[in-house]
Amino acid sequence: MAVSEQTSAPGAPAVVGDTPTHCPYCALQCGMTVGGAPVRVTPREDVPANRGGLCQKGWTAAELLTVPDRLTTPLMRAHLDAPLEPCTWDEALDRIAAEIARLQERHGRDAIGVFGGGGLTNEKAYQLGKFARIALRTSQIDYNGRFCMSSAAAALNRAFGLDRGLPVPITDLARADAIMVAGGNVAETMPPFMRHLTEMRERGGALIVIDPRRTATARQADLHLQPTPGTDLALANGMLHLAIQEGLIDEEYIDARTGGFEQVRLSVNAYWPDRVERITGVPVPQMREAVRLLARGRRSLILTARGAEQHARGTDTVTAFINLALALGLPGREGSGYGCLTGQGNGQGGREHGQKADQLPGYRKIDDPAARAHVAAVWGVDPGIIPGPGRSAYELLDALGTDDGPKALLLFGSNPVVSAPRSNRIEDRLNALDFLAVSDFVLSETALRADVVLPTTQWAEESGTMTNLEGRVLRRRRAVDPPAGVRSDLEILAGLAERLDAPGTWSTDPAEVFDELRAASAGGLADYSGITYERIEREGGVFWPCPSEDHPGTPRPFLDRFATPDGRARFTPVEHGGAAERTDRDYPIHLTTGRVLAQYQSGAQTRRVAPLVEAAPEPFVELHPDLAERHGVAEGAMVRVTSRRGTVAVRARLVDTIRHDTVFIPFHWAGEGRANLLTNPALDPLSRMPEFKVCAVRIEPIEQNGADQ
């Protein structure tokens, strides 16, 4: 689709003053100060997560505010084949409201879908969920956080009755005796996190890393386990078998604080060490050493990340690691437990307050009558108008434009053309829509396909709250004035709600929206009712749940009891089934995907920052020299990687840090190097997480002139 010339951002933004705030990227939410002319970023020493450190992305975050293609006026196309042209805000919002009314009259309320993002503030995430439920009255809402840690969330709820990413403040990590990171490369994805692990090791603690690649994190580990992709569940069950065999489990803790262990004890009898070594490729002595390191002290943590979670059996995989943690007596002890390393900036808060298809604010279930009544009272509506559960993220995207799927989509803070699995299919579904509206600060690969694009404020131009990986609610403070012509997502939602005659109030003031969020979350699992902007300012952040203003917050949930009806954690037996897609003669190699240090998520932000592009300019495929030799691939040569869903062309990097049967492609780029053209959308039955982390591929070299060899 053609795009006409745009009005870009002017030079330097107007500065409000030196303002303490937080980084726009990952869930570590590093503290930084923004100010000066030109605008500059400096790290803050008073934020425990980073304590004066920033990664390359954080240091260059100010450049996001003035990227050359920054949008400062709404864009609209007159018809399908017309280019996007500048228009007024009234024209853009009127068009969106008219299309919503037309399509809902013809096809019903669920004709409109809403897709959100894990980078939205709590206020915007809350208001977006409210807008979908009572302005649109559609059940068709979900968000890209479903692609992030939904499997860990499902497993946490199953075991503990509560989904909180980290069960301890991040400062507890340095005092641990051992930490095991399964499927996470924090040295590249959130570098300041590494200082906490380094301090732990300097005190004599041990770092264990589970990853098919010897990543930057694995290179700093005391022990690196390198399993075949898709076998983490068998590895966790095998380690629990060894813990039982060697008498390392905590029987007293199991009796006092858990239930269901005997079923798990019986199920892991089948995971004897030699069998698990054959499944995973991890030598038995390494498994045994990992278990002994975790069991040797009173303070140990098991942390999972996307490598263990983004699987069609991701919930069960995380459950297997939780079973191991429970058997060792870790959860609910100070400085110990199981935790999940949240990825996106507000991945934790973004799913707590209504963006997920099955949830209402406060982590309430949308099909719970009491939850519906409480939230409806806050919104001033009849509970009967709130729709029931809708489709999960991939299922929503996959249904766009189909006979029984949404005919229009409103999209905020996401770029699924790059980030969704089997992305060519999602691109087709977006193109099949009758209408697409996107709120973004640039023309992302998804926004390019929109009928209306709304230019929105960025991180340093808005106020609100974020909830970091610790469950600590933080203040994002407006530090600079946005360009003229740009509006916040709260203003966009209020403008649409007015045009749709939506019930309730639709404030554009983040503080007022947060107060409403507090009321809506009160009494829920994720209770923010005792958190105020003033408390966050005074205390440097407040941990939820926090049910009253005189409550201290909850930095360490589960110390006294778990959030289950009987207060006990639940063991659940789980069985290894392998990847949803197996290798064979035609597709003999495992593909795994992930991130690199200088890029972030779909790259819509970082691919526009010159120093980050210079550091990581293009996609690549990482493969072992032995595998490369067998396929005639040379260092730096272009390689065609093909799965059952698509093909990419990327440059080869030969490394001895990856398994001989596995290749790795980062997922930040669009075009011919788009990794998610290859990935498998097979879904976890509980979390509905797609299997991003393993699929079967074949590789072949491409001559530099483009002809096949």
The pair of three-digit structure tokens given for residue 631, joined into one six-digit string: 């396929």
Determine what percent of the chain is predicted with pLDDT higher than 90.
92
DSSP string over 21-81: EE-SSSTT--EEEEETTTTEEEE-SS-TTTTT---HHHHTGGGGGG-TT---S-EE-SSTT
Band of residue 342 on the pLDDT scale cut at 50, 70, 90: confident
For residues 183 and 230, the answer to whether their CB atoms sit within 8 Å is no
Q: What is the mean pLDDT of residues 410-414?
A: 96
d(CA 358, CA 141): 9
**CA atoms in the 13 A half-sphere facing the CB of 546:** 22
Which DSSP letter does residue 646 get?
A: -
pLDDT at 362 over 50: yes
Q: How far is CA 542 from CA 11, 172, 255, 617, 663, in A?
A: 37, 16, 33, 39, 42
pLDDT at 237 over 80: yes
pLDDT digits (tens, 9 = 90+) for 278-290: 999 999 999 999 9
DSSP, collapsed to helix, strand or coil, labels residue 440 as strand
pLDDT digits (tens, 9 = 90+) for 494-548: 999 999 999 999 999 999 999 999 999 999 999 999 999 999 999 999 999 999 9
For residues 362 and 352, the answer to whether their CB atoms sit within 8 Å is yes
Nearest to 640 by CA among 704, 694, 698, 582: 698
3-state secondary structure 482-508: CCCCCECHHHHHHHHHHHCCCCCCCCC
Place of tokens 């808060």: 349
d(CA 379, CA 497): 13
pLDDT digits (tens, 9 = 90+) for 414-442: 999 999 999 999 999 999 999 999 999 99
Please measure the distance between the N-terminal and C-terminal CA atoms of the chain and give it in whole angstroms.
Answer: 34
- Domain residue extents for the chain: 89-147+346-518, 150-340, 589-702
Check whether domain 589-702 has CATH 2.40.40.20, yes or no: yes
The pair of three-digit structure tokens given for residue 607, joined into one six-digit string: 């691919």
Band of residue 360 on the pLDDT scale cut at 50, 70, 90: very high
Determine the pLDDT at residue 14: 58
Helix-strand-coil split of the chain, %, nearest 5: 35, 20, 45
Q: What is the mean pLDDT of residues 100-126?
A: 97
Its pTM stands at 0.94
User: Which architecture does CATH list for 89-147+346-518?
Assistant: 3-Layer(aba) Sandwich (3.40)
Q: What sign does the dihedral 685-686-692-695 (CA atoms) show?
A: negative
Q: Which amino acid is at 644?
A: R
Determine the pLDDT at residue 13: 62
pLDDT digits (tens, 9 = 90+) for 505-515: 999 999 999 99
Strands 337-340, 359-360: pairing kind:
unpaired
pLDDT at 15 over 80: no
The pair of three-digit structure tokens given for residue 709, joined into one six-digit string: 């060899």
The whole-chain average pLDDT of the chain stands at 94
Residues 6+ apart with CB under 8 A from 443: 3, 6, 69, 71, 75, 84, 453
Determine the pLDDT at residue 347: 87
**Among the listed ranges 109-118, 144-153, 525-534, which one has the minimum average pLDDT value?**
144-153
Phi and psi, residue 230, nearest 5°: 90, 10
How many secondary structure helices (H) and strands (E) does the chain include?
Answer: 23, 30
Best-predicted range by mean pLDDT (162-171, 202-211, 698-707): 202-211
- Residue 649's H or E segment, with its range, is strand 647-654
Q: What is the mean pLDDT of residues 241-268?
A: 98
Determine the pLDDT at residue 133: 98
d(CA 674, CA 427): 12
For residues 269 and 149, the answer to whether their CB atoms sit within 8 Å is no
pLDDT digits (tens, 9 = 90+) for 456-478: 999 999 999 999 999 999 999 99
Q: What angle do the packed helices 489-499 and 89-107 form, to 10 degrees?
A: 60
Q: Do domains 89-147+346-518 and 589-702 have the same CATH topology?
A: no
d(CA 128, CA 518): 15
Check whether domain 150-340 has CATH 3.10.20.90, yes or no: no
Determine what percent of the chain is predicted with pLDDT higher than 70.
97
